[in-house]
A and B are shown apart, each in its own frame.
Chain A
Amino acid sequence: MSFLTISNAGKVFGATTVVKGFDLSVQKGEFVSFLGPSGCGKTTVLRMIAGFERPTTGSIRIDGRDITDLAANKRRIGMVFQAYALFPNLNVAGNIAFGLRIAGQAASEIDARVDDMLRMIGLAHLGKRYPYELSGGQQQRVALARALAPRPQVLLLDEPLSALDAKIRVSLREEIRAIQRQLGITTVFVTHDQEEAMSISDRIVVMNGGRAEQIGTPFEIYNRPATRFVAGFVGTMNILRARLDRGQPQTITVAGQKLRLAAPPVTQDAQGNLSLALRPEALSLTRAEGHDSTFTGQVQSVNFMGSVVRIRMQVNDELISFDMFNSPNMVPPVIGQTALAHFASRDLFELAA
C-alpha cells in the first residue's frame, strides 16, 4: 500500500489551471522527484502536499489519512526551501530546535536531538553560529536538519540545491540521498535539473503543463520516454520523422534512408507517418556488435565537451547528434567531412504524440 497518495489533484488560480488530474502513489521510504520546466506545476503539487495550497479538486492522503483539508502545521511534513528560510534571529542550534520546541518536547530531549542532527549534517562545531555566518551549503544542511529534527512523516525538498554552485550541488545531493536512505523517510524532491533528478531518485515524475507526462525510474524515463515532451526534456534526443513503407510493416524511411525496425510500429497515423527517437550515445562512428543500421551524412559541427565529443551530422533533411567518448588517440571528424553513424535499430523507439 502506498504511503503518500495524490488522487486527481488539480489547482486553479483565477482563470489559470496550474495542475490538472495529477495522480501519484509514493511508497514509504521512496525518493520521488518532480522534474519539469518552469511553470509546469511541480512546485504547486509540492505546496499542495505541504498544505500551503489547497487543491481545487482531488485529495491527498498520507498513511491512509486524508490530509487535503488539514492545516500545514498539523501535517507533520518537513520542508526544505530553495532560499534556505532559516530564521535569522536564531542560531544553528535554535533553528534545528524550533520544531521540537513547538512540539513541546523537554529541553534535554531537544538538546540530544539537536546534537544528533548537527552530527548527521557534519556541523557539530557550528551550533552557535547564526545563519549569516554560514555559507549557502552550510545553511541548506541546517535547513535539512531543521526539517528532519521533528521526525516528519514526509520530507519535501523544493529545489534545495538551485542556489548553490555546481560542485557543492553535487556533494550536497549525494549527502541528502545518503541521509534519506539512512532515515528511510519518504521524500519528494522538486527540481528542473534532470541530472539531479536522475542521480538521486527512485522514481521521477516528469511534469508538463500541469500534468504528469511520465512516471518511472530514471532508467525508464531516460531510455524509454513515453512522449515527445519527455524525450526532448530529459537528456538530448534525436527526434526523427519517419514514414512506414507500404506493404512492409517493419520497414521505414528516415532521413531518406531505409531502415528495418525490430517490430512493426504502432503509433503511425493514417498516412504511415510516425516519430522515432534515438539517443546520441546510441550512435557511433565505428560499427560495434549489434549495430545493424547506418546513417550517412555530412558533419555540421564538432563540440568538445570534455569526456565526450558531440557531433552533429546532416542526414538529408534531419540533423542528427551523436556522442563519442573523448580519447587522446582518437581524431574527431572535421566539419564538412562525410561520416557514417552506426546504430542498432532496436535502440530506435516510437514516441506518442
Chain B
Amino acid sequence: MKKPVPYAAIAIALIGASYFVVPLLATFYFSLKMTRGELGFAAYASVFRSADFAATIVYSTIASLAAIAIGTLVIVPTAYWVRLKVPRLRPLMEFISLLPLIVPPVVLVFGYIRMFGSSSVLPLTASTFGTDILLVLGYVVLSMPYMYRAIDNGLSVIDIATLTEAAESLGASRFRTIVLVIFPNVRAAIISGAFLTFSISLGEFVLASLLNRPAFGPYLVQLGQDRAYEPAALAIMSFAFTWGCMALMQLFAIRKPGQRWFSRSTPRTATGSSA
C-alpha cells in the first residue's frame, strides 16, 4: 500500500527551517547590496582587502590551533586515565568540564588578570607573549566542555582497558600505549573536538578583548560598529566556515581506518578463508 505523504510533518519542518534560513538569506542579500543599485560581492572583497582582517584571522587561527594542541594533549590522557583507573570520578570530571559553561568568560579573564597580573608571582600579563599564553589557555578552558565530551565519547566506544592490556602484554609502556593505541583510535573524536574548539576560539571576544589581544573576535565587533555591509558578509563567511567544520567532523567521524574517502563498488566483508 502506498504510504500517505506526511504533509503536516513537511509543513512543520519547512516552518522550522524558514525560522533559520530566512534571516540567513536576508543577511546574505543585505551583504550583496554594498554597491548602490546592484548586487555584488563588494562587501566580501572589502573584508578580504582589509589588513586587519588578515592579521586578526592569522592571529586567532594560530591561537586556536595552539589551544587545540594543548587541549588534546591535556584532555586525552586525562579522560583516558579517568576511564581506566578511576572511573568513579567520571561524574566529577564531567562537572569540572562543564564549569566553563556555568562560569562566564569575564569571570575567568578577571581571575587570570588578578592571578597573573604584573604584581603577581607569575606576571604573564606583563609581556605580550605571556598574555598570548593566557589567551590560549583561556581558549583551552572555554572549549573544554566540547573537547572533553567529544574525547570521552570517543573513548567510550573502544574497550580501552583491554586494548591497554593488549598493548602492555606486547611490551608497550603506558606512554607508548597512549601514543600508539589510544590517540589513533580516538582520532575522530579529537578531530570533532578540534573543530568545535576552532569554531569557539576563532570568534571569541571576551578573553581577547579584555586581554587586549589583536584577535578576530574584537575585530568582528569593531567592524560591526564601524561598517554596515562588511559585518553581514563576515557573518555569512562565519556560517560557511562553521558548516564546513561540521561537514568535516562528520566525514572524519564515519570514516573507518583504512577506508577510502570514496567507497569501492564492492565492499569488503569478513569472507575468504575459513572463519
Contact = CB atoms under 8 A, between A and B. Distances in A.
Partners in one complex: yes
B23 interface: no
Dominant SS at the B interface?
Answer: loop
Contacts of A76: 171
B274 to A, nearest CB: 7
Interface string A76-93: 111101010111111100
A174 interface: no
Q: Which of B170, B256, B258, B270 has the most CB of A within 10 A?
A: B170
A336 interface: no
A138 B275 contact: yes
Interface string A53-96: 00000000000000000011111111101010111111100000
A83 B162 contact: yes
Contact of A81 (B166, B272, B273): B166
Contacts of A146: 166, 170
Chain A contact patch, size range = 35 or more
A102 B175 CA distance: 12
B268 A129 contact: yes
Interface in B166-194: 166-173, 176, 180-181, 184-185, 187
Contacts of A90: 257
A130 B256 contact: yes
Contacts of B169: 50, 72-73, 75, 77-79, 147, 156
Contact of A133 (B159, B163, B170, B269): B269
A187 to B, nearest CB: 14
B163 A87 contact: yes
Interface residues of B, number: 30
Contacts of B258: 91, 128-130
A305 interface: no
Contact of A73 (B159, B168, B184, B269): B168
Interface in A106-131: 122-123, 125-126, 128-130
A12 interface: no
A87 B158 CA distance: 10
B52 interface: no
B274 A171 contact: yes
B223 to A, nearest CB: 44
A46 B84 CA distance: 20
B171 A102 contact: yes
B165 interface: yes
Given A89-B184, A130-B258, A133-B269, A168 B165 contact: no
B165 A138 contact: no
A280 interface: no
Nearest to B158: A88
B76 to A, nearest CB: 14
B275 A87 contact: no
Nearest to A139: B270
Contact of B170 (A102, A129, A132, A135): A102
A88 B185 contact: yes
A138 B273 contact: yes
Contacts of B271: 135
Given A98-B170, A102-B176, A85 B159 contact: yes
Contacts of A71: 168
A160 interface: no
A216 B117 CA distance: 74
Interface of B: 158-159, 162-163, 165-173, 176, 180-181, 184-185, 187, 256-258, 268-275
Q: What 8 A-B pairs are tightest by C-beta distance, nearest first?
A: A137-B275, A99-B170, A89-B184, A135-B270, A85-B166, A79-B169, A102-B171, A72-B168
Given A89-B185, A133-B269, 16 more contacts: A52-B168, A71-B168, A72-B165, A73-B171, A76-B171, A79-B165, A81-B162, A83-B159, A87-B167, A89-B187, A98-B170, A122-B273, A129-B268, A130-B256, A135-B275, A168-B275
